[in-house]
Amino acid sequence: MNRIYNFLGFFIGSLCHYRSQVTVQNLARAFPNASYGEVMQYRRSFYRNMGRILVESIFPFLPKLIAEPETIKHLQQIHHNKRNIILMIGHYGNWEALNKLPLTIDIPIQALYKPLKSKLWNSIAIKLRENYGARLIPSQHGIRTLIKEKDKPSITIFIADQFPGYQNGLPMKFMNQDTFIFTGAEKVAKKLNAFVAYVEMQPMTQHHWKIKLETICDYASETEDGFITKVYTQNLEKSIQREPSWWLWTHRRWK
């Protein structure tokens, strides 16, 4: 499979030049002390990893989740106490594989998503993502739906590193750049007084992904404004600094 990933990475990045300029620019700004050679190595590794994600997206039965028994037990205990759980992830690793979490834990799970403009592709995306038991909620209805169902404890997954628009997020430093950070997950967590954790998807061999949870807070409503968003962002940055090639560098995060 490594040869396939390498070929796809070369095809996407070097032959098709898919957002290659954006990728190099983002990497150079995020790692100002890196040499040109290091930036280009990050770029090659990123596109190779994109090849793996592409294969796992075309064949969604391939990726499998690995969760430590202690992690599952912890989440089940929180749910047993009739409390809501918010999991915050980034575009790091194969974030789509987290849609298989219902196969691992017996708790209702939903994720917020931004509907695609094409009705056909949107229906296909929903079918693929809900195929393993997770429910999708359109982002524009997310807060209203979750508050309405707050007495039905569940797990809600937020991809929280999107660009929220100028003046709509929390301004802070992220990867050496002034960045507006999405605060929607924190707002929902506070209204639900939820348990909140950061999730890192750690790549393993043979299409396996290990779920690593870092608790952000036990009771969201007891935290200061901005605390949840800041801790999430710091955790995501640590993941990226440790292995840059797994973050989505083609994303126009800094506009």
**Residue 128 pLDDT:** 75
Tokens of 24: 């190099």
Work out the pLDDT band at 149, boundaries 50, 70, 90: very high
**Residue 101 pLDDT:** 94
Spatial distance between the Cα atoms of 247 and 240, rounded to a whole number of angstroms? 6
Spatial distance between the Cα atoms of 182 and 163, rounded to a whole number of angstroms? 7
**Residue 79 pLDDT:** 97
Averaged pLDDT, 223-227: 97
**Residue 166 pLDDT:** 75
Q: Give the N- to C-terminal CA distance of the chain in Å, as an integer.
A: 35
**Residue 228 pLDDT:** 98
Averaged pLDDT, 193-200: 97
Question: What is the number of residues in the chain?
Answer: 255
**Residue 72 pLDDT:** 95
Which amino acid, 53?
I
Averaged pLDDT, 217-234: 97
pLDDT, tens only, 200-214: 999 998 899 999 999
44-to-30, 114, 165, 193 alpha-carbon distances in Å:
16, 29, 30, 42
Spatial distance between the Cα atoms of 166 and 237, rounded to a whole number of angstroms? 21
Query: CB neighbours (10 Å) of residue 103?
Result: 12
Percent of the chain whose pLDDT exceeds 90: 75
Please report which helix (H) or strand (E) contains residue 60, including its range: none
**Residue 213 pLDDT:** 96
Averaged pLDDT, 99-111: 93
Lowest mean pLDDT among 60-64, 150-154, 164-168, 189-193: 164-168
Averaged pLDDT, 102-125: 84
Averaged pLDDT, 148-165: 91
**Residue 252 pLDDT:** 85
Tokens of 91: 């575009």
